[in-house]
Amino acid sequence: MMLEILINIFSIYLFIIIFLFSYLGYGIFFLNKIFKSKLEIDLGQIGLLGIFLLINISYLSNFVISHNYFHNMIVLIVGLILFFINFKKFKIQDIKLIFLLILLTITFFFISKNHDDFPYYHLPFALHLFENKITIGSGLLNYGFRHHSSILFLNSLTFLPYIKYYLFNLPNYLILVFVNFILLKEILKNYHSKSFVLYLSLIFISIINIKFTRLSEYGTDLAGQILLIVIFLNFFKNILNRENINLIYFNAILLLITFSLKAYFILYFLLIPLTFYILKINPFSKKNLNKRLFIFTIIFFVLFFLQNFLSTGCLIYPITLTCFGDNYFWSLNIGEVERMNIWLELWAKAGATPTFQVENAENYIKGINWIYQWLDIYFFNKVLDFISILIFINIIFYFLFKNEIHIDIKTKKLLNKFIIPFLFLIIAFWFFKHPSLRYGGYFPISILAVLFAVNLYKKSKIKNRLNKNYLSKIKGILLITIIIFNLKNIVRINYEFDREDQYKFTNFPLFFVKEKKYKSLELDNKQYLNITEGYCWATPAPCSNTEINARIINNYLFFEK
């Protein structure tokens, strides 16, 4: 038993490293082809470029082939080849640092229970991609299949022989590792300057590793909010230091990733024209235009909208203005999209929970009718708790660094004139449309709290003077953050060994997947749908809990409404 556990732990660690190298291979390839030698970024940012390229590969290949074992092995091996071809472009100390980060955060990856939506549509959606090329009208299978997220396309690329689907959470994990690496590198580069960038890096590496320690809570929502930390960090570096224009374009790529993870991040694209405006840069001038990136961006949007459209009949579900559902036999009716749009807003505004639902949903979500109940049910529980954590962390940082960190007048003017109003716009949109922290609320509230706290700092009189006490504070924060992160996960793992339900750890470190009985339906002597009661879990795809008619046209499966 113990030997089997050790083999599983070693296997998972080994696969994590292999996929890490592959992501970096795709990232360095993309960097070389799109930016050539005009952009210098660290290993963590190269990994994020790799994620972007893999999203596009996943979108494209799904049109012609399933993400089966053969497909995924080819994708993985090509990434590894690209990594070793470009190995000399990576710094050995950076490779060592990211290995260390994986060792220090590996407890995060070991879970017995996944996200609540894992059996409902996260696993079935990824499994559907693994077993089938694109299916037209898949949004009819269940409500979850209508919600596009590129993280599920990335998840489908992790299915390999022997390990099967047990690396399902790897993309979320590697995003956390890459972001931690980026923040740590910024701390190492800027600790001597006591700059605003150092402060942001230090406080956010604390926030994300103290608050977001449960992998099972990430789902399809949290990765995008964590990526926004890097986006804003790059934004400030651009504005304050007038960095290479290609860093603006790199930020645009990160915004494309967040948008593909969840469409409600679309407002953050305003950061790009805002950057050009502040720096007085014309992106369309011949010297500034990156034609390769422009073409690749168009390709991304074409693939993204096609994937959405062929699933639901909408370019962006559930925005009814982008839907053409009444025109096709396989797409969602406009009335159904409107109904679901109301339901999602109702849920976010605490008008529906697992135990109750208000009677008049349309009236409830109008104006401010919902605020009192939202405050009572949601704000005074989750939002207030999160704000309390932010206040506590900001108070600690203020008293630790009020005489150390250098926040100049120029930075404060920039924050107050542009960034804080922009964040108020984001929070207002979030608050009146989908006021749930998981739906994009964590990040803008966090950064706004930090920026308000920054205004309390006075210009340091000892900006360039380093002392042991100052360095000890930084080391102490990093050490305490690591300890809290691992303690929380060790306590959680221990609880998962002791729990008495189906999610009890019985095959550590592999998570629980329920076996389901199902019946198969045939069309033209081919199996086209598997029916099971309740959630599909790992039932062979396509899977649903209701019978759905279908047609086969030109060897593509079309579901009928």
In a domain, 430, yes or no: no
Flag whether pLDDT at 529 surpasses 80.
Answer: yes
Query: 444-465: b or e for each residue (b if 16 or more CB lie within 10 Å)?
Result: bbbbbbbbebbeebeebeeeee
The pLDDT value recorded for residue 1 is 67
Q: Is 332 helix (H, G, I), strand (E, B) or coil?
A: coil
For residues 26-50, give the mean pLDDT: 94
Q: pLDDT confidence of 3, banded at 50, 70, 90?
A: confident
Which pLDDT tens digit goes with each residue over 108-151? 999 999 999 999 999 999 999 999 999 999 999 999 999 999 99
Flag whether pLDDT at 250 surpasses 60.
Answer: yes
Find out whether 205 and 183 touch, Cβ atoms under 8 Å: yes
Q: pLDDT confidence of 465, banded at 50, 70, 90?
A: low
Of 176-180, 243-247, 262-266, 432-436, the range with the lowest mean pLDDT is: 243-247
Q: pLDDT confidence of 464, banded at 50, 70, 90?
A: low
In a domain, 548, yes or no: yes
Flag whether pLDDT at 6 surpasses 90.
Answer: no
**546: domain range?**
519-559
Match 């504070």 to its residue by tokens.
473
Q: Tell me the C-alpha distance between 92 and 2, whole Å.
A: 34
Paired residues of 529 in beta bridges: 521
Which pLDDT tens digit goes with each residue over 382-421? 999 999 999 999 999 999 988 888 787 888 888 889 999 9
Instruction: Count the domains in the chain.
Output: 1
Within 375-467, where are the H helices?
384-401, 409-414, 420-433, 442-454
Paired residues of 136 in beta bridges: 558
294 to each of 52, 125, 245, how far by Cα in Å? 14, 30, 14
The pLDDT value recorded for residue 491 is 97
In a domain, 122, yes or no: no
In a domain, 536, yes or no: yes
Find out whether 168 and 126 touch, Cβ atoms under 8 Å: yes
Find out whether 140 and 55 touch, Cβ atoms under 8 Å: no
The pTM score is 0.96
Tokens (6 digits) for 267: 């407002």
Q: Tell me the C-alpha distance between 149 and 144, whole Å.
A: 10
Q: pLDDT confidence of 560, banded at 50, 70, 90?
A: very high
Written as one string, the DSSP assignment of 47-63 is HHHHHHHHHHHHHHHTT
Single-letter amino acid, residue 198: L
Find out whether 446 and 427 touch, Cβ atoms under 8 Å: no
Find out whether 518 and 529 touch, Cβ atoms under 8 Å: no
Q: Of 271, 244, 242, 245, which is closest to residue 256 (Cα–Cα)?
A: 271
In a domain, 173, yes or no: no
The pLDDT value recorded for residue 460 is 53
In a domain, 553, yes or no: yes
The DSSP 8-state label assigned to residue 327 in this structure reads G
Q: Tell me the C-alpha distance between 248 and 263, whole Å.
A: 21
Close Cβ partners of 280 (under 8 Å, ≥ 6 residues apart): none
Find out whether 208 and 230 touch, Cβ atoms under 8 Å: no
Instruction: State residue 389 phi and psi, 5-degree precision.
Output: -60, -45
The pLDDT value recorded for residue 404 is 81
Which pLDDT tens digit goes with each residue over 131-140? 999 999 999 9
Flag whether pLDDT at 502 surpasses 80.
Answer: yes
The answer, yes or no, to whether the previous bond of 542 is cis (omega within 30 of 0) is yes
Flag whether pLDDT at 461 surpasses 60.
Answer: no
Q: Of 440, 446, 431, 48, which is closest to residue 219 (Cα–Cα)?
A: 440
* Portion of the chain with pLDDT greater than 70, in percent: 98
Instruction: State residue 110 phi and psi, 5-degree precision.
Output: -90, 105
Of 11-20, 184-193, 450-459, the range with the lowest mean pLDDT is: 450-459
The pLDDT value recorded for residue 524 is 86
For residues 337-346, give the mean pLDDT: 94
Q: pLDDT confidence of 7, banded at 50, 70, 90?
A: confident
Find out whether 256 and 154 touch, Cβ atoms under 8 Å: no
For residues 447-472, give the mean pLDDT: 77
Which pLDDT tens digit goes with each residue over 212-228? 999 999 999 999 999 99
In a domain, 444, yes or no: no
The pLDDT value recorded for residue 459 is 60
Of 241-245, 359-363, 378-382, 538-542, the range with the lowest mean pLDDT is: 241-245
The DSSP 8-state label assigned to residue 264 in this structure reads G
Instruction: State residue 364 phi and psi, 5-degree precision.
Output: -60, -40
Which pLDDT tens digit goes with each residue over 91-106? 999 999 999 999 999 9
Q: Which of 229-243, 359-373, 396-410 has the highest mean pLDDT?
A: 359-373
The pLDDT value recorded for residue 118 is 97
Q: Is 90 exposed, middle or buried (0-12, 13-18, 19+ CB in 10 A)?
A: middle
Length of the chain in residues, anyone? 561
In a domain, 300, yes or no: no
The pLDDT value recorded for residue 412 is 84
521 to each of 140, 529, 533, 550, how far by Cα in Å? 16, 5, 15, 10
The pLDDT value recorded for residue 363 is 94
Task: Write out 187-231 in H/E/C secondary structure.
Answer: HHHHCCCCCHHHHHHHHHHHHHHHHCCCHHHCCCCHHHHHHHHHH
Find out whether 24 and 50 touch, Cβ atoms under 8 Å: yes
For residues 285-306, give the mean pLDDT: 93
Flag whether pLDDT at 463 surpasses 60.
Answer: no
- For strands 519-523 and 526-531, give the pairing: antiparallel
